Each structure stands twice: as C-alpha cells, then as structure tokens.
C-alpha cells in the first residue's frame, strides 16, 4: 500500500506549480521592448503555432522554466502518482483543473 504524501509535500508541489505559473506569466508580459541580453535563452520556448508540453513527474516540472508566446498551446501531462493542477498565480489566465495520474490537460 503506497504511503500517502504528507501535507508538507502537497504544499511543496503547490509552490512548484506557482513558481512555474509565475515564470510563464513573466515571459508573456515582457513589455515587448525587443532586444534582450540572451539571459532567457536556456528556457524552453514555444510559438503560437507550435505548442509545448510540460510533464509533471516526482513532484517536479519538466521543463522547470517555460516561456511561451501569447496564444501558444501548452499541454500538461501528469506522470505522477497523484492528481495535480497547473494554475496561474495572478490574474487567473489559465487553470488546468485536476489532472489525474496518467492524464493530460491543454490550455492556450
């Protein structure tokens, strides 16, 4: 019988979701100033026509950092043993709702 995760682990997972959501929102609201110093080049990028996938496994996100263009399709795949969500921390711009183990959700 699997050992249920304690409340602390659930809180850690929620904090990780918020961190990913904040990273995504910052990437969508860069002000459109152009240019840049290349500091974010290591983050995974997605275009509006392409799309990208975020995988949740072992209470971690892969990729850990994600920048998407407005209108891009993002698919979240739950490869963990418990239900997860991915929700924007500010503005409520996206919320996958509950994603059961082995399932996925997509938002734009």
- Ranges 3-7, 17-21, 78-82, 84-88: which has the least confidence: 3-7
pLDDT digits (tens, 9 = 90+) for 36-64: 444 333 345 444 445 799 999 999 999 98
Six token digits for residue 11: 């809180």
- Ranges 10-19, 69-78, 93-102: which has the least confidence: 10-19
Give 20-69 as a DSSP string: HHHHHHHHHTSTT-----STTTTSEEE-SSS-EEEEEETTEEESSSEEE-
Per-residue pLDDT, 81: 95
All structural domains of the chain? 7-33+41-107 (2.60.40)
pLDDT digits (tens, 9 = 90+) for 74-90: 999 999 999 999 888 87
């Amino acid at each position: 019988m699997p050992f249920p995760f304690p409340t602390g682990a659930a809180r850690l997972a929620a904090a990780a979701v918020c961190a990913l959501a904040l990273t995504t929102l910052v990437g969508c609201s860069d002000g459109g100033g152009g240019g840049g110093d290349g500091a974010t080049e290591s983050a995974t990028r997605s275009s509006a026509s392409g799309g990208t996938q975020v995988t949740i496994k072992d209470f971690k996100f892969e990729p850990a950092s994600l920048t998407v263009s407005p209108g891009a399709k993002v698919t979240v795949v739950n490869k963990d043993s418990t239900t997860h969500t991915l929700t924007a921390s500010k503005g409520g711009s996206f919320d996958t709702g509950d994603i059961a183990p082995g399932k996925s959700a997509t938002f734009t």
